[in-house]
Amino acid sequence: MERVKRIKAGDVRTASRLIRNLEDGMIEARSTIKHIFPLTGRANVLGITGSPGAGKSTLVDGLVESFRKKEKTVGVLAVDPTSPFTGGAILGDRIRMQRHAEDPGVFVRSLATRGALGGLAKAVGDAIHILDVMGKDMIIVETVGTGQQEVDIINHSHTVIVVLIPGMGDEIQAIKAGIMEIADIFVINKADREGSSKLRREIMAMLDMAPPTAFAAGWRPPIIRVENAFEPEGFNKSLEELSSTIEKHYQHLVKHDLIGSRIRRKAVMELNEAIRTCILEPVLNRLIADGETETMIEKLINKETDPYTLAEDVAKRYLKDLNL
C-alpha cells in the first residue's frame, strides 16, 4: 500500500493527513491502520498528564530537547479540549514547542478531544501507531489539563509522568483515587514556588502508605523537582534527571518483564474501542438518520417508556445473535 510506504519513509504530510482522517472518523482510514498495526511496537511511549497550567507543554519541550541531544527522534501528540458548545478548539500546546518546528527529527501534532472524556482524543491510539511506524524513537503524549479522573493515558504509555504544582490543595488530594495512582514518575513543577516541600512530603506520605503491590516489581515512583523554566541552567539539569529517570523506568519494565502487561492493557482498550466504533457508532448514526433518535427522546421526556426498554429494542433489531 502506497500510503503505508510513505509513512514508513517518514512522510509528514501523509501521516498528518491520515491522523486527520482518523479524527474525522473516515472509514477508509481504518484500512490503512490495518496495514500499519502489524508494524508497530517499536517506539517508547511516554504519557504526560497534570492539571491545566501545570507546565506540561514546557516539560514536553524540554524533554524533546533532551531526547534530541541523545539523537533520538521524537513524535509529540498534544491534546487540548474541544468546546462542548461549538465543537471548536484552541490547540495551544505547540506554542511552547515551536523551537523544534524545523527539526525533521521532531513531529508535533495537536489533537482536540472532540468529546472524549478520558483526557485524550479518540484518534490518539492510532496516531501513536502512525508515529511509531514513521520511525519515531520516543512518542510523547500530552493529555488535556486533567482533573482527578482522566486516566486513559495509562492505556497508551510505557511510562506515565504526573505533573503537579505547589498550592493545588490540601493533603486529602494526595490520597484520593485516580490520577495520583497512575504515576510512574512524579514531577513537582514550578518547584521554586512556595509550598513545594509540603507537596513533596504529601506525595512521599501517600507513597509510604501504598501497599507493596502498588509498586510493580519494586518501582516506587520517584519525585523529580523542576524549577523555573526561565532559568535555563537549573531547568535543563532537572530535565536531564527526568529524562534519565524515564530511561531507568523503561529498563525496569524490560528487566522485570512488565512491558507485556502494558501492551496487554493497550490491546484490551483497543479491542473495546474498535468494537464500539464498528458496532455502536453505525447503529447510533442510523437511528439519528432515520429520525428514530428524536422519537425515542420524546418518549423518554413524556415518560412513555424508559431508556433500557428502548435500548433493548434497538439491540434486538441490530444484534440478532444476542439473547435479550
Partner 1 sequence: MSDKKIRVMVAKPGLDGHDRGARVLARCFRDAGFEVIYTGCHQTPEQIASAAIQEDVDVVGLSCLSGAHRYLFPAVAKLLKEQGADDITVVGGGIIPEQDFQLLYDAGLKAIFVPGATLASIVDWFNTNVQPRA
Binding site for partner 1 (CB under 8 A): 12-13, 16-17, 19-21, 23-26, 82-83, 86-92, 94-95, 98, 101-102, 107-110, 112, 114, 281, 285, 288
- Residue where the block lists cell 500510503: 3
Give 52 or 87: the residue with its C-beta nearer to partner 1.
87
End-to-end CA distance of the chain: 42
Let me know: does 76 contact 172? Beta carbons within 8 Å. no
Closest to partner 1 by CB, 94 or 299:
94
Least Å distance between CB 52 and partner 1?
16
What are the residues whose beta carbons fall under 8 Å from the beta carbon of 74, sequence distance 6 or more? 64, 67, 68, 100, 105, 106, 107, 136, 137, 138, 139, 140
- Residue 232 phi/psi, 5° resolution? -55, -35
Q: Residue 270 carries which side chain, given as an amino acid letter?
A: E
Grid cell 477508509 in the structure block, residue: 28
Q: How far is the CB of 268 from partner 1 (least distance, A)?
A: 26
The residue (of 125 and 221) whose beta carbon lies closer to partner 1 is 125
Which sign does the torsion angle of CA 134, 140, 145, 147 carry? positive
Q: Specify the residue, 85 or 308, whose C-beta has the smaller distance to partner 1.
A: 85
* Helical (H) or strand (E) element with 122: none
Q: What one-character DSSP code corresponds to residue 24?
A: T
Amino acid letter for position 184: D
Q: How far is the CB of 17 from partner 1 (least distance, A)?
A: 5
Find how far residue 91's CA is from the centre of its chain: 15
How many angstroms separate the Cα of 188 from the Cα of each of 25, 102, 135, 295? 37, 30, 31, 52
Least Cβ distance, residue 19 to partner 1 (angstroms): 7
Secondary structure of 283-300 in the HEC alphabet? HHHHHHHCCHHHHHHHHH
Q: Min. distance of Cβ 130 from partner 1 in angstroms?
A: 12
Hey, what's the cell of 217? Answer: 516489581
CB of 279 to partner 1, least distance (A): 14
Question: Least distance to partner 1 from the beta carbon of 95, Å?
Answer: 4
